[in-house]
Amino acid sequence: MEDPRTGRVRVAVLISGAGSNMAALIDAARAADCPFEVALVLSNKPDAGGLTVAEGKGVPVAAVDHRPFGKDREAHERAVDAILNEHRVEVVALAGYMRLLTPWLVQRWEGRMLNIHPSLLPKYPGLDTHARALAAGDLEAGCTVHLVTEGVDEGPILAQATVPMLPDDTSNSLAQRVLTAEHALYPRALADFCRAQMRSL
Ligand code: GAR
């Protein structure tokens, strides 16, 4: 795996919102020794702020609005997958992509799709992770990069980073601190993953 022209793994980053993790991945890929390049940023929301950020960084972008597909999640995913193939994508990095995936897409990218989640999995899969960590009185919070499998936020863990809880933390303050940790963790975890993939071929 890797583009023979660049010697780097071609990664697509899938987003639904601001795309700060996506921006961290693009910036990391500027390093001469980075084993991946961001070949595409794709969103299910045409107005996602992250698309403008990616364009500004000179990365190809695409949007596949999920709304015209109604309840047919797989049809939406087939349209997404076609664009990934057009761009010769080898690894998919979900970064705030707020869609539940069907088994079809998960199987199609099995072992080649990563996600970042704002909790120390297996704690707090799903939404509202920071409020749940605060309500539980946890002493630390954090984020996880994992492989995507059919169970939501259940796939094998590749890397984690912890952040301390502070006495006056709110969901917002904790989310900000965890997000900063995500920006360091995801590029490192994706680079390690891509290096391992390149070695195994
Ligand atoms: C990040 O905190 C990411 O971990 C989370 O959404 C945020 C996206 O921020 N993802 C999930 O909750 C997925 N279940 P970003 O768009 O600025 O990268």
Q: 161 to each of 16, 69, 101, how far by Cα in Å?
A: 23, 37, 25
Angle between helices 20-28 and 49-56 (to 10 degrees): 20
CA distance 199 to 196: 5
Question: What's the DSSP call for residue 8?
Answer: B
- pLDDT tens across the length of the chain (201 residues): 788 888 999 999 999 999 999 999 999 999 999 999 999 999 999 999 999 999 999 999 999 999 999 999 999 999 999 999 999 999 999 999 999 999 999 999 999 999 999 999 999 999 999 999 999 999 999 999 999 999 999 999 999 999 999 999 999 999 999 999 999 999 999 999 999 998 886
76 flagged as catalytic: no
Q: pTM surpassing 0.95?
A: yes
Tell me which residue has its CA closest to atom 3 in ligand 1: 96
Residue whose C-alpha is closest to residue 144's, from 161, 165, 125: 161
Q: Is the CB–ligand 1 distance for residue 45 below 6 Å? A: no
